[in-house]
Amino acid sequence: MQTRKKYIFITFFASWLLLFFFGGDQIRRLAFLSRKKATVLKNWPRWTDRSLLKSFADPEELQSDGGHHKQSAKHSRCRMETCFDFSRCEKHGFKVFVYPMEREDPVSESYLKIITSIEESRYYTSNPEEACLFILNIDTLDRDHLSIQYVHNINDKIQGFPLWNDGRNHLIFNLYSGTWPNYTEDLGFDIGQAILAKASFYVENFRPGFDISIPLFSKEHPQKGGERGWLYQNSVPPKKKYMLAFKGKRYLTGIGSDTRNELLHNSTFCIIPRGRRLGSFRFLEALQAACIPVLLSNGWELPFSEVIDWSKSAIVGDERLLLQVTQCHAAYEMAPCSILAFQQQTQFLWEAYFSSVEKIVQTTLEIIKDRLFLRESRPKFLWNTLPGGLLALPEYSTHLGDFPFYHLQHGSSPSGKFTAFIRAVSPVVSLSQPILKLIQAVSRSQHCAQILVLWSCEKPPPPRGRWPQTAVPLTVIHGRRKVSDRFFPYSAIGTDAVLSLDEHTSLSTSEVDFAFVVWRSFPDRIVGFPMRSHFWDSSQSQWGYTSKWTNEFSMVLTAAAFHHRYYHSLFTNYLPASLRSLIDQLSNCEDILMNFLVSAVTKLPPIKVTQKKQHQEAAPQQRQDCLNRFAAWFGYMPLVHSQLRLDPVLFKDQVSVLRKKYRHLEKP
Amino acid sequence: MCASAKYNTRGPALIPRMKTKHRIYYITLFSIVLLGLIATGMFQFWPHSIESSSDWTVEKRSVHDVPVVKLPPDSPIPERGDLSCRMHTCFDVYRCGFNPKNKIKVYIYSLKKYVDEYGMLVSNTISREYNELLTAISDSDFYTDDVNRACLFVPSIDVLNQNTLRIKETAQALAQLSRWDRGTNHLLFNMLPGGPPDYNTALDVPRDRALLAGGGFSTWTYRQGYDVSIPVYSPLSAEVELPERGPGPRRYFILSSQMALHPEYRSDLEALQVENRESVLILDKCTNLSEGVPSVRKRCHKNQVFDYPQVLQEATFCIVLRGARLGQAVLSDVLQAGCVPIVVADSYVLPFSEVLDWKRASVVIPEEKMPEMYSILQSIPQRQIEEMQRQARWFWEAYFRSMKAIALATLQIINDRIYPYAAMSYEEWNDPPSVKWSSVSNPLFLPLIPPQSQGFTAIVLTYDRVESLFRVITEVSKVPSLSKLLVVWNNQNKNPPEDSLWPKIRVPLKVVKTTENKLSNRFFPYDEIETEAVLAIDDDIIMLTSDELQFGYEVWREFPDRLVGYPGRLHLWDHEMNKWKYESEWTNEVSMVLTGAAFYHKYFNYLYTYKMPGDIKNWVDAHMNCEDIAMNFLVANVTGKAVIKVWTFTLYIHFKVCQVGMRFRGCQALLQLARSAF
Each residue's pLDDT tens digit, B490-527 = 888 888 888 888 888 899 999 998 888 888 888 999 98
- For residue B435, the surrounding DSSP H or E stretch is helix B433-438
- Residues 6 or more apart from A38 whose CB is under 8 A from it? none
Mean pLDDT value of segment B389-416: 94
- Rounded to the nearest 10°, the torsion over CA A410, A411, A416, A421 is 20
Each residue's pLDDT tens digit, B41-65 = 665 555 444 444 444 444 457 888 8
Which segments of B415-532 are extended strands (E)?
Answer: 456-462, 482-489, 509-513
Q: Are the C-beta atoms of residues A603 and A348 closer than 8 Å to each other?
A: no
> CA of B345 to nearest chain A CA: how many angstroms apart?
11
Per-residue pLDDT for B489 more than 60? yes
Q: Are the C-beta atoms of residues B439 and B432 closer than 8 Å to each other?
A: no
| Closest of B185, B189, B181, B121 to residue B156, by C-alpha | B189
B622: phi > 0 → left, psi -120 to 50 → alpha, else beta; which?
alpha
The whole-number pLDDT of residue A392 equals: 93
For residue B618, the tally of other CB atoms under 10 A from its CB is 13
Q: Are the C-beta atoms of residues A298 and B417 closer than 8 Å to each other?
A: no
What does R_g of chain A's alpha carbons equal in angstroms? 34
Q: Are the C-beta atoms of residues A452 and A493 closer than 8 Å to each other?
A: yes
Residue A551's φ and ψ, nearest 5 degrees, are: -85, -5
Binned at pLDDT 50, 70 and 90, residue B455 comes out as very high
- For chain B, the average pLDDT equals 82
- Residues 6 or more apart from A356 whose CB is under 8 A from it? A221, A222, A223, A224, A225, A226, A635
As a whole number of angstroms, the distance between CA A348 and CA B444 comes to 12
| ipTM rounded to 2 decimals | 0.86
The whole-number pLDDT of residue A237 equals: 66
Instruction: Kindly write down the DSSP assignment for every residue of A194-247, as one continuous string.
Output: -EEEEES-BTTT--TTTSEEE----TTS-SSS-PPPS-----SS---SEEEE--
Residue B26 at interface with chain A, using a CB cutoff of 8 Å: yes
Binned at pLDDT 50, 70 and 90, residue B657 comes out as very low
| Closest of B338, B327, B442, B347 to residue B387, by C-alpha | B338
As a whole number of angstroms, the distance between CA A519 and CA A561 comes to 9
**For residue B17, what is the DSSP state?**
G
Cis peptide before A237 (omega within 30 of 0): yes
The whole-number pLDDT of residue B666 equals: 47
Each residue's pLDDT tens digit, B87-131 = 888 999 888 876 777 889 999 999 999 998 888 888 888 999 999
Residue A119 at interface with chain B, using a CB cutoff of 8 Å: no
Q: Are the C-beta atoms of residues A609 and A642 closer than 8 Å to each other?
A: no
DSSP three-state, residue A396: coil
Q: Do B360 and A381 touch (CB under 8 A)?
A: yes
As a whole number of angstroms, the distance between CA A154 and CA B407 comes to 50
> CA of B372 to nearest chain A CA: how many angstroms apart?
12
Q: At residue A87, what is the residue type?
A: S
Cis peptide before B197 (omega within 30 of 0): yes
Q: Calculate the CA B297 to chain-centre distance.
A: 35
For residue A56, give the nearest of B5, B60, B160 by CB distance.
B160
Burial class (CB within 10 angstroms; exposed 0-12, middle 13-18, buried 19+) of A440 = middle
Residue B285 at interface with chain A, using a CB cutoff of 8 Å: yes
For residue B381, give the nearest of A9, A397, A659 by CB distance.
A397
A-chain residues within 8 Å CB-CB of B1? 20
pLDDT averaged per 10 residues in sequence order, chain A, 668 residues? 71 69 52 49 83 85 68 68 89 91 81 92 91 91 83 85 90 84 77 91 88 92 86 71 61 51 73 81 88 86 93 85 61 73 92 94 95 88 92 89 89 90 86 87 92 89 84 89 90 92 88 90 92 90 86 90 95 90 90 94 91 65 90 92 82 67 66
Decide which of A115 and B545 is more confident.
Answer: A115
Percentage of chain A beyond pLDDT 90 is 34
For residue A329, give the nearest of B98, B439, B601 by CB distance.
B98
Each residue's pLDDT tens digit, B335-358 = 999 999 999 988 899 999 999 999
Residue B499 at interface with chain A, using a CB cutoff of 8 Å: no
Q: Do B47 and A30 touch (CB under 8 A)?
A: yes
Q: Calculate the CA A253 to chain-centre distance.
A: 34
As a whole number of angstroms, the distance between CA B196 and CA B200 comes to 9
Helix then strand then coil, % of chain B, to nearest 5: 40, 15, 45
Q: At residue B270, what is the residue type?
A: E
As a whole number of angstroms, the distance between CA B439 and CA A150 comes to 52
Q: Starting at the earlier edge strand, list the strands of the sheet with B597-601.
A: B509-513, B482-489, B456-462, B533-538, B597-601, B564-565, B644-645
The whole-number pLDDT of residue B676 equals: 55
> CA of B467 to nearest chain A CA: how many angstroms apart?
30
Each residue's pLDDT tens digit, B548-588 = 899 999 999 999 998 888 765 433 334 454 443 333 355 55
**For residue A531, what is the DSSP state?**
E
Residue B3 at interface with chain A, using a CB cutoff of 8 Å: no
Q: Are the C-beta atoms of residues A652 and A666 closer than 8 Å to each other?
A: yes
Strands A267-273, A242-245: pairing is parallel
Q: At residue A262, what is the residue type?
A: E
The whole-number pLDDT of residue B482 equals: 93
What pTM, to 2 d.p., does this model score? Answer: 0.86
As a whole number of angstroms, the distance between CA B35 and CA B1 comes to 11
The whole-number pLDDT of residue A391 equals: 93
The whole-number pLDDT of residue B7 equals: 42
The whole-number pLDDT of residue A320 equals: 79
The whole-number pLDDT of residue B242 equals: 86
Residues of A labelled as active-site residues: 591
- Residues 6 or more apart from B325 whose CB is under 8 A from it? A65, A66, B192, B193, B194, B199, B201, B216
Q: Do B447 and A386 touch (CB under 8 A)?
A: yes
Q: Are the C-beta atoms of residues B216 and B201 closer than 8 Å to each other?
A: yes
> CA of A338 to nearest chain B CA: how many angstroms apart?
9
Burial class (CB within 10 angstroms; exposed 0-12, middle 13-18, buried 19+) of B115 = middle
Report the length, in residues, of chain A. 668
What does R_g of chain B's alpha carbons equal in angstroms? 37
The whole-number pLDDT of residue B2 equals: 39
Per-residue pLDDT for B220 more than 60? yes
Per-residue pLDDT for B298 more than 90? no
Instruction: Kindly write down the DSSP assignment for every residue of B647-659, as one continuous string.
Output: P--TTT--B-HHH
Residue A652 at interface with chain B, using a CB cutoff of 8 Å: yes
DSSP three-state, residue B256: strand
Reported as half-sphere exposure (CB side, CA atoms, 13 A), residue A92 has a value of 16
Q: Do A337 and B606 touch (CB under 8 A)?
A: yes
A–B CB contacts, 8 A cutoff, strictly below: 363
DSSP three-state, residue A649: coil
Residue A347 at interface with chain B, using a CB cutoff of 8 Å: yes
| Closest of A574, A425, A609 to residue A487, by C-alpha | A574
User: In b/e form, how buried is each residue of A144-171, taking b as 16+ CB within 10 angstroms?
Assistant: beeeebbbeebeebbeeeeebeebbbbb
User: Helical H runs in A452-606?
Assistant: 509-521, 566-569, 577-586, 590-602
**For residue B400, what is the DSSP state?**
I
For residue A429, the tally of other CB atoms under 10 A from its CB is 9
